[in-house]
Structure 1
Amino acid sequence: MKSACYVPEGRQGWWGGPDTRLRCRADDKVVFFSEADAQKAANRATNRGDPMIFYRGKCGHLHVARKKVRRHG
């Protein structure tokens, strides 16, 4: 079963405007409804220079996160 969702009130987005994106109550991350939508969001962020991937969280929702970079040595 998926965690409940909400739209934050009075929250500012990283772009400077109001953040009205749907968020998961379990982890407070933005929720995507399809793998295609999550992939598009990850691609847009990656193209801006912030490498991202999409994944399904333990909460049951699709999210995007920064790509983990392995550090050697």
Structure 2
Amino acid sequence: MVKVEFLGPINKEPIEVDIKSLNELSTILKNDEALSKWLENCAVAVNDTMVISKDISLEDGDRVSLLPPVCGG
């Protein structure tokens, strides 16, 4: 299982999913209306390392974090 965290203003509890890639996760999250609006703007980290591509393989125990843009001073 892969743990998925939703940080900042997304305000959703973490979930655990049985997936093998970020592409699979993207497909799952697009079906959630509340999350779909965040997906295009979020940065993504896998095990605390920022990633750019969805072609990242995931393994059991990995952690994916969705980081929405925020502003502050």
Higher helix share: 2
For CA contacts below 8 A with separation 6 or more, give which structure has more relative contact order. Answer: 2
**Which TM-score band (shorter chain)?**
0.3 to 0.5
